[in-house]
Structure 1
Amino acid sequence: MKMINISISALSVFLALTSTAAFSQSTAPNDAQIAGIVVAANMVDIDAGKMATGRAQGKDVKQFAQQMVTDHTGVNKQASALVQKLKLTPQESATSKNLKDAGKANEDRLKSLKGKDFDKAYVDNEVTYHQAVIDALDKTLIPSANNAELKDLLVKVRPAFVAHLEHAKQIQLSLQ
């Protein structure tokens, strides 16, 4: 039963992020929507990381969670500074709302888990989440960004998401 919940959570996050692909089939997200998606995606990972720093059992999982809080807070600070500079207000979209909803559902599931079950569920979700973020960056967000500085920020932070994915995969293997 727990495995099904974990899979549903990971699937929800993946679908929320990959729903940005739907924009490209109708209307590409504008820069304000992209900013809203970036902020929402980072907040989801910050919130999950904060929970994991307090609930995770494994030292490596706790350290990873703290790194997610630190790194994603940094990305949001960079994004906030840029949107202020550009006089751009992050705009809610179906994607940013779905991200928030999926993040809340994931947190609710994680709250019911303890110990190694929590660690595994958190890390499994982080693997799926970061892969979905990278896919959304590559397929929709970077290509759709009209402002050069916004596009540059997305390109600049992409390697951190790749590093997070690889780190999460390493931890995931150790939890098998």
Structure 2
Amino acid sequence: MNLKIALVASAMALGVAGCMTPMASAPPPMAVTSAAVFVPTATSSNLLEIESSRLALQRARNPEVRRFARQMIRDHNLATRRMAAVVRRSGLPMPPPALIPRHQAMLATVQAAPDFDSAYMSAQVMSHQESIALFSSYASNGDVQPLADFAGATLPNLQMHLEHAQSIGGGGVARAM
């Protein structure tokens, strides 16, 4: 069953990556079972959502994209605080907030895009698909149970974000501009 989740998530990420030229070199998500991998990756993912959304508040033209960005900032700041609390209670070190190289590249691509709204929403879809794969994998196989429980409890919100991003990116950006 866990292999099925990883394969489906990989196929989803590859499908989105194929639609996005600047980010098409995305590696398929890996199965994550170690807190030492999950925590910094999830921290970076949350930071990517927050930083790209702050940029969207400045540059997005579509009011729906700006509303989405505000929600991402609010929800991912909350997720960061919740994860930090679980990490501390579990006796693990909490890494300082930092973007992993892949997330740095995604943010740079969005920043440089001539059509910011479309690039931001495409990145949101890709990022949330990757986060769902990461959180699903860790929720199923994680080595620290309270952290795996957090990952599982966070999944519905990530899935809701993905659906919302897809609905905006699926024509909403073009219509509003």
Settle same-fold status: TM greater than 0.5: yes
Looking at structure 2, the residues matched to 167 and 45 of structure 1 have their Cα atoms a distance apart, in angstroms, of 14
Residue number in structure 2 paired with 1:142? 139
- Give the superposed CA RMSD: 2.6
Q: CA deviation at 1:85?
A: 1.3
Runs of 4+ in 1 over 3 A off after TM superposition: none
Q: Is 1:154 matched up with 2:151?
A: yes
Looking at structure 2, the residues matched to 136 and 44 of structure 1 have their Cα atoms a distance apart, in angstroms, of 15
Looking at structure 2, the residues matched to 67 and 168 of structure 1 have their Cα atoms a distance apart, in angstroms, of 11
Residue number in structure 1 paired with 2:168? 171
The answer on whether the counterparts of 1:32 and 1:89 sit within 8 Å (CA) in structure 2 is: no
Looking at structure 2, the residues matched to 175 and 60 of structure 1 have their Cα atoms a distance apart, in angstroms, of 8
Unaligned 5+ segments in structure 1 are 22-27
Q: Which amino acid aligns with 1:39?
A: T
Q: Is 1:55 matched up with 2:53?
A: no
Residue number in structure 1 paired with 2:127? 129
Looking at structure 2, the residues matched to 90 and 33 of structure 1 have their Cα atoms a distance apart, in angstroms, of 12
Looking at structure 2, the residues matched to 73 and 91 of structure 1 have their Cα atoms a distance apart, in angstroms, of 15
Q: CA deviation at 1:41?
A: 1.3
How many corresponding residue pairs?
156
CA displacement, residues 29-57 of structure 1 (integer Å, 9 cap, x when unaligned): 42232222211111111111111111111
The answer on whether the counterparts of 2:53 and 2:72 sit within 8 Å (CA) in structure 1 is: yes
Residue number in structure 1 paired with 2:43? 39
- Structure with the bigger RCO (C-alpha within 8 Å, sep 6+) is 1
The answer on whether the counterparts of 2:38 and 2:134 sit within 8 Å (CA) in structure 1 is: no
Identity within the alignment, %: 25
Residue number in structure 1 paired with 2:3? none
Task: Choose between structure 1 and 2: higher helix proportion.
Answer: 1
Change (3 A) 1:31 1:107: closer
TM-score (norm 2): 0.77
Looking at structure 2, the residues matched to 164 and 158 of structure 1 have their Cα atoms a distance apart, in angstroms, of 10
Q: Is 1:64 matched up with 2:64?
A: no
Residue number in structure 2 paired with 1:24? none
The answer on whether the counterparts of 1:5 and 1:109 sit within 8 Å (CA) in structure 2 is: no
Change (3 A) 1:91 1:144: farther
Q: Which amino acid aligns with 2:53?
A: G
The answer on whether the counterparts of 1:33 and 1:90 sit within 8 Å (CA) in structure 2 is: no
Residue number in structure 2 paired with 1:102? 102
TM-score (norm 1): 0.77
